[in-house]
Structure 1
Amino acid sequence: MDRPEIWISLDPELHVFLAAARRVARSAVRTDRAATLGHVVESLGVPLTEVGELVVDGRTVATSHLPAHGEEVAVHAVPRPQPLAGPARFLLDVHLGTLTRRLRLLGVDAAYENPDIGDAALATRSAAEHRVMLSRDRGLLRRREIWAGAYVYSHRPAEQLREVLARFAPPLAPWTRCTACNGTLREAPKEAVHGRLRGGTERSYDVFAQCTACGQVYWRGAHHASLNAIVEAALRDSAERPPPRPAPAP
């Protein structure tokens, strides 16, 4: 055969990436003899960041496997929680600003690039700082230099937050990070932040925190109730979620 034909079954969770005609239980795919299984899966539209175990004729293989004619391939989604080979640190692209602020609210280390610095620079930063690249851009997630990545399926910030927390189960430490710059917060006496407060705020509040990086001052103002609802929901979900397994040895 000039071009081997293989049979591929994908986890239903991955069907969102497929053309409508391929959203079936099992489909035939003709491959290039030099194409690895990883390339074949990506050619269908599925970022490898979303792929877990690859099983060929009953045995687990790597993305570098060269498919042979007639092989049966099962493509599984990544496990949840997904183990990481390092701390749960994230990098978000320019389209995920609200998600960034909510992760920081929960004490999760979430770096953010705005304005857009381009896919190459984002991938380079992901690798240099060992950060999980979060994006809805499939092309960005296909870049080989990213340290780790994850596609954000929803376009709604509340659902995006649940997705990321369920997928990576990062440790939560609410109210410890600056939502503006990702720096750490420390308690600040009222007199230390006097010059940064408006008169009404200074008269109405006595408890403050300040970012050690950018100097932003925080207090329990009008939006505290809505922010606290986000925190409480995340803590509740986290308590019910199993901890992530250790990452497999390289």
Structure 2
Amino acid sequence: MNRPQVTVRIPEGLRLFLPSDRRTAVLSLTTDGTSSLGHVVESLGIPLTEVGGLAVDGHDAPARHVPAAGEVIDVRAVVRPQQVPGAPLRFLLDVHLGTLARRLRLLGVDAAYESEDIGDPALAALSAHERRVLLSRDRGLLRRRELWAGGYVYSDRPEEQLQDVLDRFDPVLAPWTRCVACNGELRDADKDSVRDRLADGTRKTYDVFAECTACGRVYWRGAHHAELAAVVDRALREHAERRGHRAG
């Protein structure tokens, strides 16, 4: 039995997932005749979380389509900003993305984070149970079927990671409203109510406080506030610029 040959066209932004010796715009591929289009794409190394759509001979096609001989397959990149239907936009980050998680929380984005490696099956199950978009640089993790939704983090630099996530998902930003330690929501706190959790120097120097409603951590504008404010200001500015560019 002859196995069908198909042509697969890959956009530039997705070619990094291909094997180093096959990073071209057009691939000639021999399939087994029974695997779905989604499986064929994943066999090239491309997680379906990074695919915005599939087309066969110029017509939209579902991932379950079984390619036939001679078909031309177009793999489309995700259109930004990406819409995640069916749930409030919330994230789950794997163990390697702690800095990104803290920066998202600093901006008021709901970003759960596992500080210990609980394993791929557990992470994927948590994503599905809580309906969170799983962010990871682990391509294998993003190919797990039980995921609610996912996104590959393309850079290994926290500044670029943050820009990429904000650009891709366009979350609502509300700086200084989440605990960077546990992701809980913050509320204003009276100084007297948190006095027993403050060092002597802090009690004498500061008067404005916030408290995490989940873990009880107390926040104030201390020595590191200027550095954090710079991160927030830059993110807000770039976020506004992206939105303005899209609107224009």
2:100 paired residue number: 99
Once residues 230 and 11 of structure 2 are traced to their aligned partners in structure 1, the CA distance between those partners, rounded to angstroms, is: 34
2:8 paired residue number: 8
1:144 match: secondary structure? coil
* Alignment check: 8 A CA contact 2:137 2:154 kept: yes
2:74 match: secondary structure? strand
Matched, 1:193 2:194: yes
Give, in angstroms, the shift of residue 242 of structure 1. Answer: 3.7
1:154 paired residue number: 155
1:44 paired residue number: 44
Give, in angstroms, the shift of residue 159 of structure 1. Answer: 0.6
Give, in angstroms, the shift of residue 238 of structure 1. Answer: 2.0
4+ runs deviating over 6 angstroms = none
Consecutive unaligned residues of structure 1, counting only runs of 5 or more, are 244-250
* Alignment check: 8 A CA contact 2:142 2:150 kept: yes
1:22 paired residue number: 22
Alignment of 1:47-196 (within 5 A): 47-85=47-85, 86-196=87-197
How high is the TM-score relative to the length of structure 1? Answer: 0.95
Once residues 58 and 214 of structure 2 are traced to their aligned partners in structure 1, the CA distance between those partners, rounded to angstroms, is: 52
2:215 match: secondary structure? coil
Once residues 129 and 77 of structure 2 are traced to their aligned partners in structure 1, the CA distance between those partners, rounded to angstroms, is: 26
Give, in angstroms, the shift of residue 4 of structure 1. Answer: 0.6
Give the CA RMSD over aligned residues.
1.1
Q: CA offsets, 1:214-240, max 9 Å, x none?
A: 000001111111111111111112223
Which has the higher relative contact order, 1 or 2, with Cα contacts under 8 A spaced 6 or more apart? Answer: 1
Give, in angstroms, the shift of residue 56 of structure 1. Answer: 1.0
Give, in angstroms, the shift of residue 55 of structure 1. Answer: 1.3
2:176 match: secondary structure? coil
How high is the TM-score relative to the length of structure 2? Answer: 0.96
Once residues 183 and 20 of structure 1 are traced to their aligned partners in structure 2, the CA distance between those partners, rounded to angstroms, is: 42
Once residues 101 and 242 of structure 1 are traced to their aligned partners in structure 2, the CA distance between those partners, rounded to angstroms, is: 23
Q: Give the aligned length.
A: 243
* Alignment check: 8 A CA contact 1:103 1:109 kept: yes
* Alignment check: 8 A CA contact 2:187 2:212 kept: yes
Once residues 3 and 177 of structure 2 are traced to their aligned partners in structure 1, the CA distance between those partners, rounded to angstroms, is: 56
Once residues 163 and 105 of structure 1 are traced to their aligned partners in structure 2, the CA distance between those partners, rounded to angstroms, is: 16
Percent of aligned positions that are identical: 64
Consecutive unaligned residues of structure 2, counting only runs of 5 or more, are none
Once residues 87 and 236 of structure 1 are traced to their aligned partners in structure 2, the CA distance between those partners, rounded to angstroms, is: 24
Q: CA offsets, 1:28-64, max 9 Å, x none?
A: 0110111011000100000000001111111010111
Amino acid in the other structure paired with 2:50: E
Once residues 84 and 242 of structure 1 are traced to their aligned partners in structure 2, the CA distance between those partners, rounded to angstroms, is: 18
* Alignment check: 8 A CA contact 1:82 1:168 kept: yes
1:225 paired residue number: 226
* Alignment check: 8 A CA contact 2:15 2:25 kept: no
* Alignment check: 8 A CA contact 1:81 1:242 kept: no
Give, in angstroms, the shift of residue 149 of structure 1. Answer: 0.3
Amino acid in the other structure paired with 1:33: G
* Alignment check: 8 A CA contact 1:49 1:150 kept: yes
Once residues 128 and 228 of structure 1 are traced to their aligned partners in structure 2, the CA distance between those partners, rounded to angstroms, is: 34
Amino acid in the other structure paired with 1:158: E
